[in-house]
């Protein structure tokens, strides 16, 4: 019984970060309740924010990959279940749509002297979120294989395809490429990345009318098809971000399009075959179709403060979160993320995301209906990547599925 009790207590302590005071970070009295996704960089932030706990401040955190599904209901309650919701470009949208988060203008004026201007997510002139890290997909490749095949570092997707051909022709690898084309979220993200690089918009400005069923959409699908020709036909339909990481680490593929947040894990050489990690080069995303925009959406992660809570709790939460993303925390964890915080010196793993940003990659759209399009793409491009449908049909199906969903959600008539 004692054991069970002990285990229960320690589980509870893990789930609700202990409310022991480490250091006083100047937070006014109040309750800080954090909801966030569950990955390393966010754990660093939440753990640091928990240092603000004192006699008058309580800090708890629920870090779960299910955060997107509970944030809406949890913040709708009054008082809200959580005072802080950590979000990204896409997950802030439903909170905005329902007006569940508050403007941070006054809190930024009072406490935000250390914040950099590009950390402030401004919507309609009001600061709605504080970003602290960037992310995105970019190239990771094996320089030894490329050298053996006699090709230079790829800059555009034409280069990538030419390199793949050279590697295959030289007999180095049968299927040198991998990208996340598993039907579902990953596949749709791949389409969004490439479509952003065409410079075109997904919707008619100011409306929810879809504008991807055109030459640009077809160009993107043609590119995907060309890439798939160099992917292992037996497994490419199961390629998501973790799967291509495994394929790459096992030395089976030479060029992958992978998330910046995974680059560190590839560089550290753990679980890698011999010769993979030391020959790995991290580079920005390639350009596409003669354009200059890198084919990768820029993502940010940040925090928002709930609307349905007392001003005292909001203030305590804001200060605790600022402590969580303070330059000291970032300095102690330089490899955890591509931080946007002052004083961050990017390490080797951050090169790709920063290259994307400096080369003018576009942000993942933040409009209210991009999620519906993402879902439509997830399902309707499946037949296309499986080689059972042509591009025209895939785009028409996507449009039909999107229109149906957008009508149901009240965005289209």
Partner 1 sequence: MPHKTFLAFILPSIIAMVLFIALPIISVAVQSLYVEHDKVLVTVENCQPLGGCTTETVVDSEATAKLKAVAPLGEFNGLGTYFNHAHLAIDEVAEIVSDNTGFADIVARLYNLPFYRALSFTLAYCFIVTPLAMLLGFLIALAINMVPRLLKGPVIFFSLLPMIITPLIGSLILYWMISAEGILGVGLKWLFSDPTLSLKSSLPLTWITLIIYGIWTNAPFSFVVFYAGLQTVPGDTMESAMIDGASRWERIRYVVMPHLRPLATFVALVQLMDNFRVFEPIVGLSAQANATSLSFAIFNDLRNQNAQQYGSAATTSMLTIIGVIILLMPVLIRTWREYHQKS
C-alpha distances (whole Å) from 263 to each of 114, 215, 348, 351, 382 are: 28, 33, 9, 9, 27
DSSP assignment, residue 271? T
| Residue closer to partner 1, measured from CB, 142 or 362 | 362
Quote the strand ranges of 2-56, DSSP E. 30-36
Please report whether residue 207 would count as binding partner 1 according to CB under 8 A: yes
Residue span 308-337 as binding mask against partner 1, x where in contact by CB under 8 A, dash where not: ------------------------------
How far is it, in rounded angstroms, from Cα 316 to Cα 59?
A: 9
Q: Which stretch binds partner 1 (CB under 8 A): 52-60, 177-185, 264-272, 275-283?
A: 177-185
Residue 281 parent element (H or E): strand 280-283
Paired tokens of 223: 């590119």
Paired tokens of 46: 């939440």
Pick from 27, 45, 48, 28: which is nearest to 37 by CA?
A: 45
Name which position in 82, 236, 318, 344 contacts partner 1 (CB under 8 A). 236
Q: Which residue has the tokens 């990481």?
A: 245
How far is it, in rounded angstroms, from Cα 384 to Cα 234?
A: 16
In the complex, least distance from residue 388 CB atom to partner 1, rounded to whole angstroms: 7
Count of residues interacting with partner 1 (CB under 8 A): 74
C-alpha distances (whole Å) from 401 to each of 12, 190, 227, 374, 384 are: 43, 18, 25, 11, 15
| Residue closer to partner 1, measured from CB, 73 or 150 | 73
How far is it, in rounded angstroms, from Cα 155 to Cα 160?
A: 8
Give me the half-sphere count of Cα atoms (radius 13 Å) on the Cβ side of residue 209. Answer: 5
The residues in 93-122 that bind partner 1, with binding defined as CB under 8 A, are 93-94, 96-99, 118-122
Residue 209 sits at φ, ψ, to 5 deg, of -75, 125
Please report whether residue 199 would count as binding partner 1 according to CB under 8 A: no
Name which position in 3, 234, 274, 345 contacts partner 1 (CB under 8 A). 234
Name which position in 206, 270, 274, 290 contacts partner 1 (CB under 8 A). 206
Name which position in 8, 79, 233, 348 contacts partner 1 (CB under 8 A). 233
| Residue closer to partner 1, measured from CB, 53 or 231 | 231
Residue 208's CB is within 10 A of a number of other CB atoms, namely: 22
C-alpha distances (whole Å) from 189 to each of 49, 256, 278, 404 are: 31, 15, 29, 21
Residue 382 parent element (H or E): helix 382-385
Residue 391 sits at φ, ψ, to 5 deg, of -65, -40
| Residue closer to partner 1, measured from CB, 162 or 363 | 363
Name which position in 205, 270, 290, 345 contacts partner 1 (CB under 8 A). 205
Please report whether residue 171 would count as binding partner 1 according to CB under 8 A: no
Residue span 359-398 as binding mask against partner 1, x where in contact by CB under 8 A, dash where not: --xxx-xxxx-xxx-xx---x--xx-xx-xx---x---x-
| Residue closer to partner 1, measured from CB, 205 or 290 | 205
| Residue closer to partner 1, measured from CB, 60 or 213 | 213
The residues in 6-65 that bind partner 1, with binding defined as CB under 8 A, are none
Name which position in 70, 237, 277, 281 contacts partner 1 (CB under 8 A). 237
Name which position in 46, 167, 253, 298 contacts partner 1 (CB under 8 A). 298
| Residue closer to partner 1, measured from CB, 235 or 333 | 235
Please report whether residue 182 would count as binding partner 1 according to CB under 8 A: yes
In the complex, least distance from residue 260 CB atom to partner 1, rounded to whole angstroms: 12
Residue 38 sits at φ, ψ, to 5 deg, of -120, 85
Pick from 256, 174, 236: which is nearest to 382 by CA?
A: 236
| Residue closer to partner 1, measured from CB, 31 or 225 | 225
| Residue closer to partner 1, measured from CB, 206 or 290 | 206
Q: Is the dihedral of CA 121, 127, 129, 132 positive or negative?
A: positive
Please report whether residue 300 would count as binding partner 1 according to CB under 8 A: yes
| Residue closer to partner 1, measured from CB, 95 or 266 | 95
The residues in 147-166 that bind partner 1, with binding defined as CB under 8 A, are none
The residues in 67-86 that bind partner 1, with binding defined as CB under 8 A, are 68-69
Asked if 322 and 108 count as a contact pair (C-beta separation under 8 A), the reply is no
Q: Which stretch binds partner 1 (CB under 8 A): 24-32, 159-167, 213-221, 228-236?
A: 228-236
């Amino acid at each position: 019984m004692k054991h069970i009790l002990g285990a229960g207590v320690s589980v509870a302590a893990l789930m609700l970060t202990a409310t022991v005071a480490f250091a006083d970070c100047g937070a006014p009295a109040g309750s800080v309740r954090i909801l966030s996704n569950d990955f390393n960089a966010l754990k660093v932030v939440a753990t640091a924010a928990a240092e603000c706990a004192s006699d008058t401040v309580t800090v708890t955190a629920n870090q779960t990959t299910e955060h997107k599904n509970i944030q809406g209901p949890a913040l709708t309650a009054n008082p809200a279940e959580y005072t802080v919701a950590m979000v990204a470009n896409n997950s802030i949208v439903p909170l905005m749509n329902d007006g569940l988060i508050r403007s941070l203008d006054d809190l930024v004026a009072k406490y935000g002297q250390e914040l950099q201007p590009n950390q402030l997510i401004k919507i309609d002139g009001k600061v709605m979120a504080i970003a602290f890290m960037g992310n995105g997909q970019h190239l990771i490749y094996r320089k030894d294989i490329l050298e053996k095949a006699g090709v230079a570092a790829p800059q555009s997707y034409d280069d990538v395809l030419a390199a793949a051909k050279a590697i295959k022709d030289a007999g180095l690898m049968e299927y040198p490429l991998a990208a996340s084309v598993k039907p579902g979220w990953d596949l749709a993200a791949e389409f969004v990345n490439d479509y952003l690089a065409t410079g075109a918009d997904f919707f008619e400005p100011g409306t929810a009318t879809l504008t991807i069923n055109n030459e640009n959409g077809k160009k993107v699908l043609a590119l995907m098809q060309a890439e798939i020709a160099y992917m292992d036909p037996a497994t490419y339909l199961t390629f998501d971000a973790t799967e291509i990481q495994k394929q790459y680490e096992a030395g089976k593929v030479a060029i992958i399009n992978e998330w910046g947040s995974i680059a560190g894990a590839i560089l550290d050489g753990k679980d890698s075959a011999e010769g993979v990690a030391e020959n790995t080069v991290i580079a920005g995303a390639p350009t596409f179709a003669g354009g200059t925009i890198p084919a990768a959406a820029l993502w940010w992660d940040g925090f928002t403060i709930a609307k349905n809570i007392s001003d005292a709790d909001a203030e305590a939460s804001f200060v605790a979160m600022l402590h969580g993303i303070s330059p000291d925390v970032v300095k102690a964890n330089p490899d955890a993320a591509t931080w946007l915080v002052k004083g961050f010196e990017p390490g080797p793993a951050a090169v790709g995301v920063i290259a994307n940003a400096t080369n003018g990659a576009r942000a993942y759209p933040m409009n209210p209906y991009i999620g519906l399009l993402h879902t439509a793409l997830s399902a309707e491009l499946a037949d296309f990547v499986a080689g059972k449908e042509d591009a025209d049909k895939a785009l028409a199906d996507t449009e039909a599925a999107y229109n149906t969903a957008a009508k149901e959600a009240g965005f289209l008539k």
